[in-house]
Amino acid sequence: MSRHHRRPATIGGKAASEGYPYAMWRDQRYHRNAIPAAVGATGVVLMFFTLYVRYHEEIEALSYALLVIAALLNLNALMRVLNRTVGQQAREIRNLNLGLENKVERQSHEIDRLARLKQFLSPQVAELVVAEGKEKLLDTHRQFIACLFCDIRNFTAVSEDIEPEEVISILQTYHERVGCLVMEHRGTIGYRAGDGIMIFFNDPIPCEEPVLAAVQLVLAIRAAFEQLREPWSERGQPLGLGLGIASGYATLGLVGFQGRADYTAIGSVVNIASRLCDKAADGEILITQRAYIDVASQIKAKSLGGFDLKGVRNSVEIYGVLGLGPSGV
């Protein structure tokens, strides 16, 4: 057989001619480029021609070259697809990281706002304000409220006879217990100074019966204080508690500076509640006539007559709260 009619037994050539069509078809589904498959198909056709029709070294070499070129083109197409996929995933990761950063920043901001609001609002109310984006409720405005004051009687005298650590212990226990009760009754702490606390209802979250809520809270505070002062009474250092409630319109808003502001109420209703607290005997709960009218059918009280209170222009009719009535529970 002449050189030009010799047919070599090329196992590799057969494998290439059988494997390449499938490989090209398989990879084309990913990179969507028909050129590698076309070049590879041409190489396979030439390979079959030189193997089974008429052998020619140049054609065989050309078929191998086309198959190699097809493989390189196919690899290049796959790499482009891979690069696009990696690039897209990288962008998605960047966007995800950016979204996470923004989310963390928002959550951090919300945590800061929530921590600030919890200084003067119950946690439930503070969380509601933040969750619903109602911080405009804290802008300065005028609102009808029920305001109560409570402070410890004989505290100054007792604090002079005991160690400073014991004074701090009394105040911590007192504020912790009162604070828990305020949270339970959904009130707002507007003022804390030493042994005095001011609390109000119906702002920033509306309350259907603010005066009744104030009476219920003040009775709970008085009951809790009995346990607090018992050990000190046994030591001959009796502590008392004065309580006063008034209702009316007040101006409310944030007072202070950035990072340390209190949400509080200002107005005659606050002054009157404070004066009633000062006037009250140990364990006595004094309430103005205006406030009493709102809850007359829900509490038990007795009239104490009119009194002139310091800083208040007109005489104030005062009632002493004895407890809740059947409908005030």
Widest Cα–Cα separation across the chain: 138
Question: 64 or 150: whose pLDDT is higher?
Answer: 150
What percentage of the chain carries pLDDT values higher than 70? 78
How far apart are alpha carbons 187 and 182 in whole angstroms?
Answer: 5
What percentage of the chain carries pLDDT values higher than 90? 31
pLDDT band at 1 (very low <50, low <70, confident <90, very high): very low
CA geometry: angle at 11 spanning 9 and 12, to 5°?
125
DSSP state of 326: G
Cα torsion through 160, 180, 295, 267, rounded to 10: 60
pLDDT at 14: 47
pLDDT band at 227 (very low <50, low <70, confident <90, very high): confident
List, in sequence order, the alpha helices (H) in the chain.
11-31, 35-48, 57-117, 123-131, 155-161, 164-184, 210-234, 268-279, 289-295
How far apart are alpha carbons 161 and 1 in whole angstroms?
Answer: 128
Where exactly are the structural domains of the chain?
Answer: 3-91, 123-328
Q: Which of 56, 58, 80 is nearest to 6 (CA)?
A: 56
DSSP state of 121: B
Which stretch of 11-15, 75-79, 172-176 has the lowest confidence by average pLDDT?
A: 11-15
pLDDT at 107: 67
Report whether the peptide linkage leading into residue 204 is cis, meaning its omega lies within 30 degrees of zero.
yes
Q: Which of 182, 324, 147 is nearest to 252 (CA)?
A: 147
Residue carrying the six token digits 């499938």: 22
- Give the CATH H-level superfamily of domain 123-328: Nucleotide cyclase, GGDEF domain (3.30.70.1230)
Per-residue pLDDT tens for 120-173?
665 666 666 666 665 666 778 899 999 999 999 888 888 888 888 888 988 898
Q: Is pLDDT above 60 for 11?
A: no
Q: Which of 116, 124, 112 is nearest to 205 (CA)?
A: 124
Q: Is pLDDT above 70 for 285?
A: yes
pLDDT at 68: 80
Per-residue pLDDT tens for 72-94?
887 787 788 888 888 888 888 88
For the chain, the average pLDDT equals: 81
CB atoms within 10 A of CB 123: 11
pLDDT at 277: 93
DSSP secondary structure, 265-303, as one string: EESHHHHHHHHHHHH--TT-EEEEHHHHHHHTTTEEEEE
Residue type, 286: L
pLDDT at 38: 77
Q: Are 289 and 281 in contact (CB under 8 A)?
A: no
Per-residue pLDDT tens for 177-201?
998 999 899 898 888 888 899 999 9
Q: Which of 62, 205, 40, 246 is nearest to 123 (CA)?
A: 205
Q: Is pLDDT above 80 for 8?
A: no
First to last CA, the chain: 118
pLDDT band at 12 (very low <50, low <70, confident <90, very high): very low
Beta partners for residue 208, in sequence order: none
Q: What is the pTM of this model?
A: 0.63
Residue carrying the six token digits 């030009």: 4
Burial profile 264-283: b = 16 or more Cβ within 10 angstroms, e = fewer: bbebebbbbbbbbbebbebe
Mean pLDDT over 282-311 rounds to 93
Length of the chain measured in residues? 329
